[in-house]
Chains A and B, each alone.
Chain A
């Protein structure tokens, strides 16, 4: 069993093997290794298979690939419609009304302590074409689970560690506990399905068994379908609603409730001839003090305690389930993304992009992502000010820009929508062009007289923005998203303040 920093030749060899196998390579251990990784990726681009003319095909076709870890999209799709793949160990009494099916399932899940089954997961697009197909063997025992895919790769989470056994590469990789993108969990889904309106739509044959089809409608969500074995009440199939042009169908082709699961499955062991790789997993710790000892800094703590805390050198993650807080020392490089919105937190800029917030506080770069991000962020930074799309940032402009042509702006927006001139989505870039045109109205040659570094995004509500300029005829440039007011809208200069003395 070996671990720790690999030799450079070995690290490169492993990198090449991973990319050739269609896998994510291990994180580079040095800057030189990072450069090697870029060059290998770039060289692979010279090969015949580097450009794909078609969308991804199911794993069974073409070069051997390993299925990616299930991603939040599938989790979100399943969770949003509360995929209730429940197990009914009690036989259902014939003739019961709709409500008793879910009640029986709820009771059955409460009794469920473990299970073992083979799950076929197929994702199709809106045209009905198979986009991804996987076959997974699943063992679940309390909070522990193990999944083996059709390529033999085994992923295990025993609650304190997560690892992956890769037979073809003859290696065992210890992975970070968070994020852990499982497709669905029976107990979690049972909690969500409780109380949702549902109706029996009919009977049909699924996986060779007679099944009852239920239509379940979560409040505020799209309806989805669940098929139960008509004899045992066991769930046979779940089909999510079509979301983001994808629909996923989960079918248990075999299922054994309360199966005896070999406890050795959840013990990390490296088979003979295999190499152990630690892909920077971090450790689960029980107290913030332990996290501080490992990470080398004290984490800021919200009022609400996390469900779990993970730490490694230079990084701490507070896990709240669907939201997490990630903290690392600030390297001084934090700059909010220009296509996001700007707020304020801890006396400095706050970047808001969807449900992710980032800011620097007490020398730490904090990132909060998930459904409760704002609430948790406020607990860390009480002075948090979210951007307000209604904020008026532009009426202060001393010199308004006149003659804005609505048709021309809409044409530009359409061009950007089609993929041209993406720089129109960056308010700093748009302001850069504007100030250089003030200097050279006949047209800009090269990069222009006023360098890009002279401009700074000073404020952004997401709909209006102010850019400060340190040289040239304009001291401040005011911009607005006139055609569309979200992250996909182009920016237009609507006014500026001349520099005093010019």
Chain B
């Protein structure tokens, strides 16, 4: 059996933090899509992983895995049932997972689904969510009332959800068929 490597230098963790924190922040931001959560999670991941004295330099892969697990853990704990929905699980699959087909909430695919929505539902989601406009700004652009925008965005998300859930179900059935 090969001999164990000597303990890493004490600055290894600090060096790793310096190298990786930006990338980890961007990775986490890609999942949570808001600065407040991304900052919180980045700091907590780095504190957990790098907080141990004399720890070896963590890999980016490890940091990403730790980040996804932290997000999963937080989301699970804020729910009374303590479980995530299949959509939440699908969103937290790593990009470089060994099973490439597993990440179902792929952006290209989602953009395609958005195109299939009724025009008004698609437009309200593009303005309110993708572009980040306020309800008032969206209402002005669409020539509608704010109450109408609120109802329309809800119907749009409901329609999108139905399409995504249907696709999730189809994929699960397909994978089961491939196994047998």
**Chain A residues with a Cβ under 8 A of chain B:** 8-10, 12-13, 16-25, 27-28, 31-32, 34-36, 38-47, 49-52, 54-56, 65-69, 71-74, 76, 125-126, 132, 242-246, 280, 313-315, 328, 331, 333, 337, 339, 353-356, 404, 406, 409, 416-423, 425, 429, 446-447, 451, 463, 480, 482-489, 494
Contact = CB atoms under 8 A, between A and B. Distances in A.
B51 A76 contact: yes
Contacts of A68: 35-37, 39-40, 43
A425 to B, nearest CB: 6
Given A50-B33, A56-B39, A35 B161 contact: yes
Closest 7 CB pairs of A and B: A422-B61, A27-B78, A245-B18, A44-B33, A71-B43, A22-B35, A73-B43
A54 B35 CA distance: 13
A45 B60 contact: no
B36 A44 contact: no
B50 interface: yes
A306 B122 CA distance: 52
Nearest to A27: B78
A89 B150 CA distance: 56
Contacts, number: 239
Interface in B69-87: 69, 75, 77-85, 87
Nearest to A329: B82
* Chain B interface mostly: helix
Given A38-B91, A484-B56, 18 more contacts: A12-B157, A13-B150, A21-B34, A24-B36, A28-B78, A34-B84, A42-B91, A43-B129, A56-B38, A68-B39, A71-B44, A76-B51, A126-B18, A244-B14, A244-B17, A419-B61, A422-B96, A488-B58
A39 B43 contact: no
Contact of B33 (A19, A331, A404, A429): A19
A51 to B, nearest CB: 7
A244 B154 contact: no
A25 B129 CA distance: 14
Contacts of B98: 423, 429
B160 A39 contact: yes
A354 B52 contact: yes
B105 A72 contact: no
Interface string B149-164: 0110110010011001
A5 B129 CA distance: 23
A13 B179 contact: no
26 contacts: A9-B150, A19-B34, A22-B34, A24-B36, A38-B87, A38-B105, A40-B33, A42-B110, A45-B33, A46-B107, A52-B29, A55-B22, A56-B35, A66-B36, A68-B37, A68-B40, A68-B43, A72-B43, A244-B13, A245-B14, A313-B80, A333-B82, A354-B48, A418-B59, A422-B61, A451-B179
Interface of B: 1-2, 4-5, 8, 13-15, 17-18, 21-22, 25-26, 29-40, 43-44, 46-52, 55-62, 64-65, 69, 75, 77-85, 87-88, 90-91, 94, 96, 98-99, 105, 107, 110-111, 114, 125, 128-135, 150-151, 153-154, 157, 160-161, 164-165, 178-179
B25 A483 contact: no
Contacts of A243: 14
B39 A8 contact: no
Contacts of A38: 85, 87-88, 90-91, 105
Nearest to A52: B26
Contacts of B99: 447
Nearest to A404: B2
A9 B151 contact: yes
Contacts of B38: 56
A446 B178 contact: yes
B35 to A, nearest CB: 4
Contact of A34 (B32, B85, B107, B150): B85
Contacts of B96: 419-420, 422
A489 B7 CA distance: 12
A39 B46 contact: no
Contact of A417 (B4, B59, B132): B59
Contacts of B37: 24, 68
Contacts of A50: 30, 33
A446 B178 CA distance: 9
Contacts of A45: 30, 33, 107
Contact of B56 (A31, A40, A404, A488): A488
Contact of A71 (B1, B40, B56, B129): B40
B36 A65 contact: yes
B78 A486 contact: no
Nearest to B80: A314
Contacts of B107: 42, 45-46
A339 B65 contact: yes
B155 to A, nearest CB: 9
A152 B38 CA distance: 21
A10 B15 CA distance: 45
Given A13-B150, A46-B107, A486 B55 contact: yes
Given A65-B35, A244-B50, A354-B51, A488 B65 contact: no
B52 to A, nearest CB: 6
Contacts of B85: 31, 34-35, 38
A252 to B, nearest CB: 24
Contacts of B13: 244
Contacts of A71: 39-40, 43-44, 47
Given A16-B153, A41-B33, A43-B110, A417 B57 contact: yes
Contacts of B1: 480, 482, 494
Nearest to B8: A484
A12 B154 contact: yes
A483 B17 CA distance: 21
Contacts of B2: 404, 406, 409, 482
Q: Quick one: which of A43, A72, A484 has the most chain B CB within 10 A? A: A43
A22 B132 CA distance: 10
